[in-house]
Structure 1
Amino acid sequence: MQNEEFYHVFEVFSKRNHKSDFQHQFSLLAPNHEMALVMAQENFMRREPVVDIWVVKRSDITKLKPEDKKALERLDNKEYRLTKGYGYLKKKWRKYEQQVLDEKEIMSWGGDQRGPNRNAAGSDSK
């Protein structure tokens, strides 16, 4: 079991440009942080441009224990605080638009029955 003590699992995160967020890319085995960083850099220098790399030893990452995850559950009913988005607005706007009168309909109320094929005198031109 000497290999388990010598090599450690590292998680590699990269950032493609200065405005993007870090994203997890892969895991690797290395004897220490320095070698893990060199291995991560070698991998990215051959594949894609990045502006920054983070290498984190997996054992240094803290996660919640199963019994602690219960603390994440909401104790009260405050669903009004959750953002559902504005997807319903499109349907609501469509319904509103169907109720709005258009210009042609309003103009038809004026009693002008000539239509588009009639001349100003009101007689048919043939």
Structure 2
Amino acid sequence: MKKVISTKNAPSAVGPYSQGIEANDTLFVSMQIPFVPETMTCVGDDIESQTRRCLENIRGIVEEAGYELEDIVKCQCFLADINDFVAMNGVYEDFFEGHKPSRSVIEASKLPKGARICIDAVAVK
């Protein structure tokens, strides 16, 4: 059984996809760009604020589905510039407070809406 997850605590989908899909006690969170949900605009130009916003958007979807941050088992991070890795990693580490999901980080030549970072996640109950 699949369940569509939708919340006002993350940006609305800007295409033909859902914020999240839950199937068999697994939550698949769509890639989050650093948009503020209320304004649907980018939070700022720096990698730290953009990383934090992406992760807060993921938190909103995860919590709406009844999961917790500790349930996240995998994240994929896409950076417009791999040189932002150290700054992104510091925010990421602080956000998860010792919880260490599996993770991939890659540089992508161009991200949606001019973002410097996009992150998706998978959580399991």
Measured against the shorter chain, the TM-score band is under 0.3
TM-score by length of 2: 0.22
Which has the larger helix fraction? Answer: 1
> Is the radius of gyration larger for structure 1 or structure 2?
1
Name the structure, 1 or 2, with higher relative contact order (CA <8 Å, separation 6+): 2
TM-score by length of 1: 0.22
